Amino acid sequence: MSGNRNHGWPIVICAAMLLAAGMARAAEIKSLRIWAGPEYTRAVFDVSGPVDYQLFELADPERIVLDLRTSTLGGDFSAPPAKGLLKSLRAGKQGKSDARVVFDLTEGVRPKSFLLPPADKFGYRLVLDLYPALTKAAPVKSAVEVPGKARKVIVAIDAGHGGDDPGAIGASGLHEKDVTLAVARELKKHIDHTSGMTAVLTRDADYFIPLEQRYRKAREAKADLFVSIHADAFTSSDARGSSVWVLSPRGATSEAARWLADRENRADLVGGVSLDDKDAILAKVLLDLSQGATMGASNSVAEQVLASLRQLGPTHRHYVERANFVVLRSPDVPSILVETAFITNPAEEARLKNPAHREKLAAAILAGVDNYFRISPPPGTQFAVDAVRAHSTAKASRHVVSRGETLKTIAERHGVTTTQLRAANDLVDERVRVGDVLRIPSG
């Protein structure tokens, strides 16, 4: 901290945001909402219009002070309970025409603030994000192998929306963010109870995570698959059915260009290879290879999940759909987005409210994911070991006759009788020839 801060001088974090006319109108501070996530705490003020504000820090004890110029606290305004990095908060009038909110902190923070324009059902919002001053690396569940044993497949599950972003809202008031979190938790429970698999959640409470951070969390966890859960919406209440999406080719192309242009991205590992020390042409080739394999795998798992969801009822489309969704842009983690149903369809909204139906959705998604990994097991995983064992068992159930072998010696070798061998291979007698392939029945 600087010397100025210790003497109580304010450190201005954000400059004033004024109206185009150059004079700020009186703004009303209507309400305040707070969400606490594992990485930061967010405070969102609903305001009547653009506000001129100043944010500064004070020490001993740690506080953040927010002054809102030419602003008043609405008659219904009340400070919500503190949570996360907030110990307590209080609001009141400051001078003749300003309002002040003081946030008492549990520790030093790095604040970030911005004003959001009206969108959907929201008006203007002033957002304050508080990050720990000393960022601690969160423990990341990774695919580290246990000596002598195969690792589990890791599935990153992303509950769409959250916090101040409710997503789509059904006719009865059901929020998409609540549905996605409930289904994500149910899916994690199913996956964690499946042999050879484990799951991590991008969020496990009601807070918002920026879109790019969602797929980056999957990469940090060394996930083998990223599944983003959503609930669809449409202007017509007749629209129905679940759907599965993967990244469009156009989205992949734009993301590749961004990775190659961004030095921080190039220094990252893509498919286990750093692009930072490669020339432009080689880096592009390596990224194309990684993206191509990722998109192929994404499409394969999406088809399996769609087929599984079809068992619950009609799907919105009979094919996997493609779009440039930000959360699907990981260059090296197969990624799919599942629209569980249309929350704007009253019948489907009612099903999404039902815990039993959400459990069926999770089970269907798991079935598709499980089928995919059994068909295409990642190297070093329990699925890969099981596939090798199955292949070995299949090979052992066949025997190629070599020179000098008889039906009797072959039967004794495999622990079966000559009668069983003859029946399994439709042999009229015990004669065999060199090169014959015999099916070996179970003992």
Round the average pLDDT of the chain to a whole number and report it.
82
Co-location of 214 and 67 in the same domain: no
Most confident of 73-82, 180-189, 269-278, 399-408: 180-189
Q: What is the pLDDT of residue 359?
A: 95
105, 213: one domain: no
Instruction: Write phi, then psi, for 183 (nearest 5 degrees).
Output: -70, -40
Same domain, 366 and 431: no
Residue 106 lies in a domain: yes
Evaluate if residue 24 carries a pLDDT over 70.
Answer: no
More confident residue, 23 or 85: 85
Assigned domain for 139 exists: no
Count of residues in the chain: 443
Instruction: Categorize the per-residue pLDDT at 226 as very low, low, confident or very high, splitting at 50, 70 and 90.
Output: very high
Q: Does residue 391 fall inside a structural domain?
A: no
**Which position has the token pair 């909110």?**
101
Contact 191, 202 (CB under 8 A): no
Helix ranges, 310-426 (H): 346-353, 355-375, 382-396, 407-414, 418-425
Is the distance from CB of 261 to CB of 276 less than 8 angstroms?
Answer: no
Structural domains in the chain (count): 3
What are the backbone dihedrals phi and psi of residue 232, each rounded to the nearest 5 degrees, phi first? -70, 165
Strand, helix or coil for residue 321: strand
The rounded radius of gyration (Å) of the Cα atoms in the chain is 29
Whole-number Å distance between alpha carbons of 42 and 179: 21
Owning domain of residue 77: 3-132
131 within 8 A of 36, measured Cβ to Cβ:
no
Q: Confidence class of residue 356 from pLDDT cuts 50, 70 and 90? A: very high
Mean local confidence (pLDDT), 16-39: 67
Position 142 in a domain: no
Who has greater pLDDT, 173 or 260? Answer: 173
pLDDT > 90: percent of the chain: 30
Same domain, 80 and 201: no
Residues 112 and 189 in one domain: no
Answer for the pair 253, 329: CB distance below 8 angstroms, yes or no. Answer: no
pTM, rounded to two decimals: 0.66
Q: Give the strand pairing for 63-69 and 98-105.
A: antiparallel
Provide the CATH number for the domain around residue 74. 2.60.40.3500
Cross-sheet strand order for the sheet of 335-342: 197-201, 153-159, 225-232, 335-342, 243-247, 321-323
**Quick one: 237 and 370 in the same domain?**
yes
Residue 403 sits in the same domain as residue 277: no
Name residue 91's beta-bridge partners: 101
pLDDT tens for 175-219 read 999 999 999 999 999 999 999 999 999 999 998 888 888 998 998
Residues 101 and 67 in one domain: yes
Task: Note whether 267 and 370 are same-domain residues.
Answer: yes
- Residue 385, domain member (yes or no): no
Same-domain status, 54 and 180: no
How far from the centroid of its chain's Cα atoms is residue 114's Cα? 25
Of 377, 410, 429, the position where a domain reaches its end is 377
Quick one: 178 and 314 in the same domain?
yes
Q: 294 and 300 in contact (C-beta within 8 Å)?
A: no
40-96 pLDDT, tens digit per residue, is: 888 889 998 888 888 888 888 888 899 888 888 887 888 888 888 999 988 888 888
Q: Which residue has the higher pLDDT, 229 or 19?
A: 229
Residues 23 and 104 in one domain: yes
Task: Classify 216 as helix, strand or coil.
Answer: helix
Instruction: Pick the range with the lowest mean pLDDT from 11-20, 109-118, 328-337.
Output: 11-20
Residue 281 has pLDDT above 80, yes or no: no
Residue 276: pLDDT band (50, 70, 90) is low
Query: How far is Cα 101 from Cα 79, in angstroms, rounded to an integer?
Result: 9
